Amino acid sequence: MKKCVVLYNKHSGKKNKGAFLDEFIEILKENGYKTEVIISKYKGHIIEIVKNLDDNINLVISIGGDGTFNESMRGNFKREKRLLLAHIPLGTTNDVGKMFGYGKDPIKNLKLLLNGVRRKMDICTIN
């Protein structure tokens, strides 16, 4: 079974209450992933989490705003062996989510992610 770590920033966005998480995890399970959810506790926490994850993780999904994805990328760049990262937008602005073609529904976005293609991207600067 593949391994997925979901990094969840419950403070992102105005309507983010996490009600979707059970369905989110079930969809990942149906797609062959054993999933661990880690809730971000403070600014910079996701950087440390990603930096210290095991190398045998198949997918890391950050859920939150642009800053949440930024932290997951920064943590990944501190690793010797990079992990596959994805992002589900829940923030207020969601520039990164718009760039990926996502809307406001995290479940629909997860399905798009799981049916999408893997690609490399340059690090972008937003502001």
Q: Where are the beta strands (DSSP E) in 9-113?
A: 33-39, 59-64, 85-89
In this prediction the pTM is: 0.89
Residue 52 has pLDDT above 80, yes or no: yes
Vertex 12, ends 5 and 8: CA angle to 5°?
15
Q: Which of 7-11, 17-21, 55-59, 105-109 has the lowest mean pLDDT?
A: 17-21
Whether the per-residue pLDDT at 14 is higher than 70: the answer is no
Lowest mean pLDDT among 49-58, 66-75, 93-102: 93-102
Look at residue 47 and tell me whether its pLDDT is greater than 70. Answer: yes
pLDDT band at 16 (very low <50, low <70, confident <90, very high): low
Structure tokens of 104? 């406001």
